[in-house]
Amino acid sequence: MTPVDPGPDGLANLRGLTQRRFSRRDLMQAAALLAGAGVVAGCSVPGARASAIPADYWKDKKASRSLDWAQWPLYIDVGKVKGKTVHPSLVEFTKRTDIQVKYEEVIQDMDSFVGTIRPVLASHQATGYDLMVLTNGIYLTQMRELNYLIPLDHSRMPNFFKYADKTAKDPTFDRGNKYTVPWQSGITGIAYNPKYVKRPITSFDDLFDPAFKGKVGMFADNQDLPNFGLVGIGVDPAKSTEDDWRRAADRLIKQRDEGFVRAYYQQDYISPLSKGDLWITMAWSGDIFQANASTPGLDLKFVVPEQGAVVWTDNLCIPRYSRNPVSAMELINFAYDPKIAAMIAEYVNYFTPVPTARKYILDDAKAATKKADRESLLQIADSPLVFPTKAMESKLYRYATLTPEEVPVWNQIFEPVYES
């Protein structure tokens, strides 16, 4: 096929004997390589940490008429007015303060939400939100470290100091509530579908029962999975050591390698649990309640295992470059009005940070005209998942608080569990 052709190669050889050794092309290539190498060596990625927020930040801040709020889905009361879906508590807020709230359910998980706003904040731009709800943990600590959160103006939140539960005040992840106050808290425990699981679930070890082989769900994250694993092996995450982390990870890896775990889930475990793809799974308390409430005939169960469970807190905080920080403070104060806290608790069924809200829920129950409504309100008022009992509290553990140096170690121990 190939004709014999002395062609360009031969000619080039000939020329090579008579001409200079380096052609212009060679020089250009060498220059490009050098430039490339220079760029490789010269590059660096600046840290994302912003300058500190001035101490007199609040001094010249004026009230405004609007508020943009980034929130998780199904995390506030919902009502119908003239066929339109509204949030009664926010309607009340606008009535009291004349502030219009743009309520946006944009947070699906911390990874993607923080991933979206962080580059914006890094370039000194407003995120478009004045208030957001972030879960305590690696991300919240990171946002604070980066100086991306505005310290709260404590003089504008009297309701918090008056009505907040002692667990809401001075949490380990934000000493003195400098940057955050809790919105709601919840538990990471075990949920199961009684259609398939025919015995009561009581223990962390039930996630290792051969009867459920291949039907167990676990979380795919560096937060709930590790901390729940630690509680499961009898260690308080807050006091855990690297040794404990490795032991917990080994247990979880064993669970995976012996074929118990079907998959590691992010937010999407409710659907397989309802369909029977999963029988038993790690779960968030409020998710299960809301799934049952929104799907007729569904009866999923949530349990806090005897070893205990992990409690987390979603926190209200103000992102840097917020345009309406004063409105955000107004809402923070408003949310701690027990009557408002009751309105929200009746709907979302997570731990409320305002214990006196119970009184208003009982009042509402008394006033309820329908028997079913009354019963459900009474059930909420007595639910240990909304107003934790002493017995419940003793079984709940906080996330481990990690130093920036510990985070990579922790990640490298636990990530191989779910990224297998």
Partner 1 sequence: MTSATSDEVKVGSTRRRMGRLTAYWLALPGGLWLAIFFVIPMIYLLSLSLMTGNFIDGFTQTFHVSTYWHTISLYHDQFIRSIIYALIVTALTITLAYPMAYWIAMRGGKHKSTYLLIILLPFFVSFVIRTLQWQFILADNGFVLGTLKDLHLVGSDFHLLATPVAVICGLTYNYLPFMVLPLYVSIERLDPRLMEAANDLYASKLQALLRIVFPLTIPGIFAGVIMTFVPVASDFVNAQLLGGAKTTMIGNVIYTLYLTNNDYAAASALSFTLMGALLIGIFIYARALGTKDVMEAAAL
Q: Which amino acid is at 104?
A: E
Q: What's the CA gap between 168 and 136, in Å, rounded? A: 12
Q: Considering the complex, state which of residue 218 and residue 354 has its C-beta at the smaller distance from partner 1.
A: 218
For the CB of residue 415, give the shortest distance to partner 1 in the complex, in Å: 7
- Does 264 help bind partner 1 (rule: CB under 8 A)? yes
Q: Which stretch binds partner 1 (CB under 8 A): 9-17, 41-49, 70-78, 361-369?
A: 41-49
Name the pairing type of β-strands 216-219 and 181-192. unpaired
- Given a contact cutoff of 8 angstroms between Cβ atoms, the answer to whether 129 and 322 are in contact is yes
Q: Considering the complex, state which of residue 32 and residue 78 has its C-beta at the smaller distance from partner 1.
A: 32
- Does 419 help bind partner 1 (rule: CB under 8 A)? yes
Q: Which amino acid is at 178?
A: K
- Does 263 help bind partner 1 (rule: CB under 8 A)? yes
Binding residue (CB under 8 A) for partner 1 from 275, 370, 371, 390: 275
Helix (H, G, I), strand (E, B) or coil at 131: strand
CA dihedral 366, 372, 376, 377 (to 10 degrees): -20
- Does 199 help bind partner 1 (rule: CB under 8 A)? no
Q: Site map for partner 1, 124-143, x if CB under 8 A?
A: ------------------x-
For the CB of residue 377, give the shortest distance to partner 1 in the complex, in Å: 35
For the CB of residue 262, give the shortest distance to partner 1 in the complex, in Å: 5
- Given a contact cutoff of 8 angstroms between Cβ atoms, the answer to whether 132 and 70 are in contact is yes
- Does 158 help bind partner 1 (rule: CB under 8 A)? no
Name the pairing type of β-strands 309-317 and 131-135. antiparallel
Q: What's the CA gap between 329 and 153, in Å, rounded? A: 7
| Token pair of 41 as six digits | 């060596």
Q: Which stretch binds partner 1 (CB under 8 A): 32-40, 243-251, 329-337, 391-399?
A: 32-40
Q: What's the CA gap between 119 and 271, in Å, rounded? A: 32
Binding residues vs partner 1 (CB under 8 A): 36, 39-49, 111-112, 115, 142, 145-146, 214, 222, 256, 261-264, 272, 275-277, 404, 408, 411-412, 415-416, 418-420
